[in-house]
Amino acid sequence: MGAREGIPSYVAHSAEDGRLEPLEAHLREVSEMAARFAEPLGMAELAADIGLMHDLGKYSDAFQDRVLRDGPKVDHSTAGAWELSSRGSWEGAYCVTGHHAGLPDGGAVNEGGSLGDRLHRAASGRLEDYSAYRSELSVPEEVPHVSPTFPEAWGEKEQVFSCYFAARMLFSCLVDADYLCTERFMTGRARKTPASDSLPVLRDRFERRLERFYPPSEGINEVRCSVLDACLDASSLPAGVFSLTVPTGGGKTLAVTRFALNHAARPGAQMRRVIYAVPYTSIIEQNAAVLREWLGPENVLEHHANFDFDSLLLLGDVGWNSRGGGLVVRVSGRVGLQRQRPRRAGNVASLKKAA
């Protein structure tokens, strides 16, 4: 398909005002953003390759007919999945196959919609011809692989889960990058990144507010201050798993926040934010209110089923969690798990370097 005057050779998206987005530009933009999201994970190069190949199927004449003349729907994701799987990247194939419909099952060749079935169709030559991508893109012949380092004590189950988790992190990087880049083109403007304070600034603000508790008066306040002091002492220790056992009324909310902010902001920690996970929604709402009062509402992202989604969007949604700083307060069962289906929120890759 050759370029006509004012029309790109290959189009990724068509806006309501008639603007057409060049496919090459979209792929390169998604590649760069996905790599940036994956940088803290040590998987930037792989994320860049996944982003570059995720829409190769749009180079087919059938898809161009779809985007330019409202033709019939066409599978445009299997092509990129096939290219990545051919290069040995199973995790990339999963991510690209599911970047619109959701992560597929592995499945077999006769299970419709599964990764196995879609790759079998590609291997059998049953995809629309997308080879025109070679006229605009240079796709790498080799791509990196997910190769986490496992503790010696880990068995096969733990190792498999680690690889699976890494794939979901990559999926998050791709989906958020694709959504953000597409949104930027369709609306004609990039999403604003909300302002928030850095962890050292939040730590210092928190410490100043704690000064009113010292010197403690007798009784329960002495106990609370001793808990606060113990958490401050522990915050200088190397990263690891810590526990705090304090009865009701002992000041756990402020104590663990003191630990987290000081631990995350200590020199050399390279942590980007604090994730505050609690098991019950009622406790989340109570603790989030305290943290907003102490740290400022722009620095606290409350994330659970009862939270007003419009407020979440105002706070920045994807834009908020694509950069460092602040606290995320959410249900403990959801921490670290990217949703199975893509949606306009939640780059779980942001959790990588969180206290």
Domain identity same for 289 and 329: yes
Q: Is residue 347 part of a domain?
A: yes
Q: Is residue 280 part of a domain?
A: yes
Domain identity same for 61 and 139: yes
What is the Cα–Cα distance from 88 to 79, expressed in whole angstroms?
Answer: 14
pLDDT of 114 higher than 80: yes
Domain identity same for 30 and 172: yes
Q: What is the pLDDT of residue 263?
A: 96
3-state DSSP assignment of residue 13: strand
Q: Is residue 4 part of a domain?
A: no
pLDDT of 173 higher than 90: yes
Which residue do the tokens 């098991």 mark? 279
Domain identity same for 167 and 244: no
More confident residue, 25 or 157: 25
Domain identity same for 126 and 258: no
pLDDT of 101 higher than 70: yes
**Consecutive H or E run containing 163:** helix 156-187
pLDDT in tens, 65-74: 999 999 999 9
Domain identity same for 149 and 225: no
CA angle, 16 then 178 then 136, to 5°: 85
Q: List, in order, residues 6 or more apart from 85 with CB less than 8 Å away.
A: 92, 93, 119
Domain identity same for 120 and 224: no
pLDDT of 336 higher than 60: no
Domain identity same for 160 and 244: no
The average confidence (pLDDT) of the chain is 84
Instruction: Name which of 116-120, 263-267, 341-345 the model is least confident about.
Output: 341-345
Helix axes 220-234, 252-265, angle to 10 degrees: 20
- Grade residue 85 by pLDDT with cuts at 50, 70 and 90: very high
Range(s) of the domain holding residue 268: 199-351
pLDDT in tens, 235-287: 999 988 899 999 888 899 999 999 999 999 998 888 888 888 888 777 888 88
Q: Is residue 136 part of a domain?
A: yes
Q: Which of 81-85, 320-324, 349-353 has the highest mean pLDDT?
A: 81-85
pLDDT of 170 higher than 90: yes
Q: Is residue 171 part of a domain?
A: yes
CA distances from 162 to 27, 76, 115, 151, 331 (A): 28, 29, 20, 11, 22
**Consecutive H or E run containing 352:** none
Domain identity same for 240 and 179: no
Q: What is the pLDDT of residue 330?
A: 63
Q: Domain containing 276 — which CATH number?
A: 3.40.50
Amino acid at 95: C
pLDDT in tens, 320-329: 445 555 677 6
Segment 89-115 shows an average pLDDT of 88
Q: Which residues pair with 275 in a beta bridge?
A: 328
Of 329, 321, 317, 330, residue with least CA distance to 353:
321
Which residue do the tokens 């949606």 mark? 343
Q: Is residue 2 part of a domain?
A: no
Which residue do the tokens 């304070």 mark? 197
Domain identity same for 215 and 336: yes
Structural domains in the chain (count) = 2
More confident residue, 265 or 343: 265
CB 111 within 8 A of CB 59: no
Amino acid at 191: R
Domain identity same for 277 and 170: no
Domain identity same for 118 and 217: no
In this structure, what are the phi and psi dihedrals at residue 104, rounded to the nearest 5 degrees?
-85, 165
- Grade residue 318 by pLDDT with cuts at 50, 70 and 90: very low
**Consecutive H or E run containing 329:** strand 327-331
Q: Which of 190-204, 249-263, 283-297 has the highest mean pLDDT?
A: 249-263
Provide the whole-model pTM: 0.80
